[in-house]
Amino acid sequence: MERKIIHIDMDAFYASVEQRDHPELRGKPIAVGRAEERGVVATASYEARRYGVRSAMSSQKAKRLCPSLIFIPGRMDVYKAVSRQIHEIFHEYTDLIEPLSLDEAFLDVTHNKPGMELAVDIAREIKQKIRDQLNLVASAGVSYNKFLAKIASDYRKPDGLCTIHPDQALDFIARLPIESFWGVGPVTAKKMHLLGIHNGEQLRTRSLAMLTHEFGKMGNVYYDFARGIDLRPVEAVRIRKSVGCEHTLEKDISRRSSVIIELYHVAVELTGRLERHNFKGNTLTLKIKFHDFSQITRSTTRPQELHTLDEILPLAKQLLKEVDYEQHPIRLIGLSISNPHEEEAKKGVWEQLSFEFSDWE
């Protein structure tokens, strides 16, 4: 039986919740985030997006693009509560739900609770219930696998509903810009362009050997996607694989004493999160973002599990010695623990992804 997969993506979720709850903001360009010099846009309303304002953009750049932009402090507790209401609607149709974040999820409706034959009818009902019950707008994509369902949900945003049938998939993929493929970021897209690959049709002409030579394991993924193949199941539960935190600094720093102090604060927060999640792992990763927004990571793996400050901080300092920051001031410092023992991994279940507003400051 052909699988029936739906991808639901809430349109400008945080901003739409704010405009719903504050009628005076409706129709105006708003950004959820902080307007300070080091602030970052979490979500922008569609009125703001017309000016080029986008998620993860610095607040200063957003204000230059849209001088009338209104910044709204985030209310994560509210967004989480609304997300739970959305999932209650999902559960009316299936329990095979894979959340990707607070505002998007995959649903496998191959065998659905109402016994509906067409997945597009389920997607249409879900969109309408979200509008009627929550006064919010969602876009939906329908297809036979996760890759194509995700592509479909982005195709006609906002308030979109798009179905990619199996007999249409190859033609649809052929026209798809390479930047729209899952797993193709700016760096990979640039490499694809240098190889003469600009769309799905050109990707499909490349051999598996060539793609794996150029892109490693991801070459297999690109080869399959170009042919409409994605066998990944919709996973209702995910194993937690890492715990981390990061701080964007108020000012760029390059003095060793200042960097060590900030590293200590991040390590303290990380150990607190590890304790709350009852998580231990064997790999510590240091992430550094420089003043020009370039970034590097350094990792070390130890035979013993890492979860206390006395274990983590000395290793973090060792990793920091591998970073040249005297001539490249630091903007952001992050630490994470990963690679849990198998028995520990089985204990951890997936938690909905959400930004920490403190990290946007």
Domain layout of the chain by residue ranges:
1-164, 176-225, 242-345
Task: Count CB neighbours of 96 within 10 A.
Answer: 18
Q: How confident is residue 239, by pLDDT bands cut at 50, 70 and 90? A: low
Q: How confident is residue 294, by pLDDT bands cut at 50, 70 and 90? A: confident
- The token duo for 33 is 């985030």
User: Are 180 and 154 in contact, with CB atoms under 8 Å apart?
Assistant: yes
Average the pLDDT over each of 34-38, 86-90, 134-138, 264-268 and give the range with the smallest value. Answer: 34-38
What CATH superfamily classification does 176-225 receive?
A: 5' to 3' exonuclease, C-terminal subdomain (1.10.150.20)
Options 104, 214, 246, 262, the catalytic residue? 104
Closest alpha carbon to 72 in 125, 162, 119, 12: 12
- Amino acid 277: pLDDT: 82
**In the chain, what percentage of residues exceed pLDDT 90?**
78
Q: Tokens 């720093």 map to which residue?
A: 253
Average of per-residue pLDDT across 17-46: 92
Q: How confident is residue 284, by pLDDT bands cut at 50, 70 and 90? A: very high
Q: Tokens 């945080």 map to which residue?
A: 14
Q: Could you read off the pLDDT of 334-361 as tens digits, one per residue? A: 999 998 865 444 444 434 333 333 333 2
- The token duo for 208 is 């598996």
Residue type, 252: D
User: Are 322 and 300 in contact, with CB atoms under 8 Å apart?
Assistant: no
Q: How confident is residue 321, by pLDDT bands cut at 50, 70 and 90? A: very high
Task: Count CB neighbours of 79 within 10 A.
Answer: 23
Q: Catalytic residue at 104?
A: yes
Q: Could you read off the pLDDT of 42-62 as tens digits, one per residue? A: 999 999 999 999 988 889 999
Q: How confident is residue 238, by pLDDT bands cut at 50, 70 and 90? A: low
Please, what sign has the CA dihedral across residues 114, 117, 119, 120? negative
What whole-number distance in Å separates Cα of residue 71 and Cα of residue 36? 10
User: Are 97 and 106 in contact, with CB atoms under 8 Å apart?
Assistant: yes
Q: In the CATH scheme, what is the code of domain 242-345?
A: 3.30.1490.100
Average of per-residue pLDDT across 206-225: 95
Given the candidates 3.30.70.270, 3.30.420.40, 3.40.1620.10, 3.30.830.10, the CATH classification of the domain at 1-164 is 3.30.70.270
User: Are 38 and 53 in contact, with CB atoms under 8 Å apart?
Assistant: no
